[in-house]
Amino acid sequence: MAKVSLQGVSKFYGKVQAVKKIDLEIIDKEFLVLVGPSGCGKSSSLRMIAGLEEIDEGIIKIGDKEMNNLEPRERNVSMVFQNYALYPHMTVEENLGFSLKIAGLAKKEIEERVHEAAGILDITEFLQRKPSQLSGGQRQRVAMGRAIVRRPDVFLFDEPLSNLDAKLRNQMRTEIKRLHQKVSTTIVYVTHDQVEAMTLADRIVIMKDGIIEQIGTPLDLFERPATKFVATFIGSPSMNMIKASIVKQNNELSMKTNDGIIVPVPKDKQYSVSEGQNISFGFRAEDIVPLKFGQKPSSAWEMKSSVNLAEPLGTETLIFTNFGEIEIVSRMFTPEQVKSNDILNFALNLDRTYLFDENSGLAI
């Protein structure tokens, strides 16, 4: 059990800086998810914690011990890889027990711990099989079992579910969460899938281009995105984002889109914007609803638009429509039939609109 801290950590690949002086404190027993698009530096960060990549700058500590010059085997971390990386020439039992054998444990203790881990993950019946005789989900479980038996200070997961099909992924996601509750060890988990991040994490770290965009609980990130990138990255479907500039109209500040549509600046949050400032404003699909089929929000701004496409999903329907020239998506929770080319009145909930400075990308 241990906390992990990264202090000003950087990673260079040749001239490219993959990780740029990041600071991060991971609390003991926390489930922390590193998420971001590919190439954002999340895997490099994880591999530096594991000791598989050199730390070019800064310090990484596990517990209170500096890890920079320690070999992977001296760090007492376990890693689960995307492609499982089970040893194909060993049985499941040998796979699970390998690290204990290397550590020089007695045969009897190895057996006990292997069976304990196999019990936790429900793979006892496969112990004598070779990895090639297992299904994807079973292999994934063995890979996790191999990590558990060592009783490490920290578990490191590198996109462990991305090779599984959708159904199995959901199932394994639940199992990983359950596993965390059972073993209650610090977990650092890397994924590019925001749904995984939202569902698993105690806290999420969103990375982009080697820097940390925001750290927070899943709801923090969803409700209070610090940057435009975080706003569009978290949530499905992605937040609608429209470019505009601030203009003064009737003595009130408004947002004028590139297509000339004018929307008043929401008043509730007292945004500090000035005339002429270039901004983007964003709103989630559920915050723009067809008036006819939804509840009218208290501070609504209305517009009329035709439906490009409707995707009925059962509990909800996604309606694709145009906001000026830009296609946006609206989420309707009433089971009503909507067809393409229907003309609908949409109400945008101004209270739930987010403003971002166009130059810095930061929330206003």
Partner 1 sequence: MNKKQINNILIWFSAIILIILIMTPGLWVVLTAFRPQVDVMAKPAVWIPRNLNLIQFETMLFGGSEGSMGRSPIPVLSYLRNSLIISFTSTFIAVLVGTIGGYGFARHNFKHKNKYFLLIMLTRTIPGISLSLPIFIIFSKIGLIDTHIGIILVFVALNIPFTIWLTDGFFRQIPRAMSEVAMTDGCTKLQAFWHIELPLSRSGIASAGIFAFLISWNEYALVSNLARSTDSKTLTVGLMDFTAQFTINWPGMCALAVFIIIPALILTFMVQKHLVTGLTFGGVKG
Considering only 131, 218, 235, 294, the residue that binds partner 1 (CB under 8 A) is 131
89 interacts with partner 1 by CB under 8 A: yes
Q: Checking phi first, is residue 116 left (phi over 0); if not, alpha (psi -120 to 50) or beta?
A: alpha
Helices marked H in the chain = 42-50, 92-102, 107-121, 136-148, 166-183, 194-200, 218-223, 228-233
CB-based contact 310:317 (threshold 8 Å): yes
Mask of contacts with partner 1, 45-74, x by CB under 8 A?
-----xxx------------------xxx-
Please report, as residue ranges, which positions from 99 to 128 form the binding site for partner 1 (by CB under 8 A).
Answer: 99, 102-103
Mask of contacts with partner 1, 343-362, x by CB under 8 A?
--------------------
Structure tokens at 312: 């009925």
254 interacts with partner 1 by CB under 8 A: no
Nearest approach in angstroms of CB 130 to partner 1 is 6
Nearest approach in angstroms of CB 87 to partner 1 is 6
Nearer to partner 1, 52 or 261 (CB): 52
133 interacts with partner 1 by CB under 8 A: yes
83 interacts with partner 1 by CB under 8 A: yes
Nearer to partner 1, 14 or 260 (CB): 14
Structure tokens at 333: 């929770």
The amino acid occupying position 267 is K
Calpha distance 50→28 (Å, rounded): 17
Nearer to partner 1, 50 or 231 (CB): 50
- DSSP labels, 242-271: EEEEEEEETTEEEEEETT--EEEPPTTTT-
Selected range binding partner 1 among 82-90, 199-207, 209-217, 355-363, rule: CB under 8 A: 82-90
| Max CA distance (Å), the chain | 82
Give which of 165, 92, 163, 164 is closest to 126, Cα–Cα: 92
Please report, as residue ranges, which positions from 147 to 166 form the binding site for partner 1 (by CB under 8 A).
Answer: 150, 156, 163
Q: Residues in the site for partner 1, rule: CB under 8 A?
A: 50-52, 71-73, 75, 77-79, 81-89, 98-99, 102-103, 130-134, 136, 139, 146, 150, 156, 163
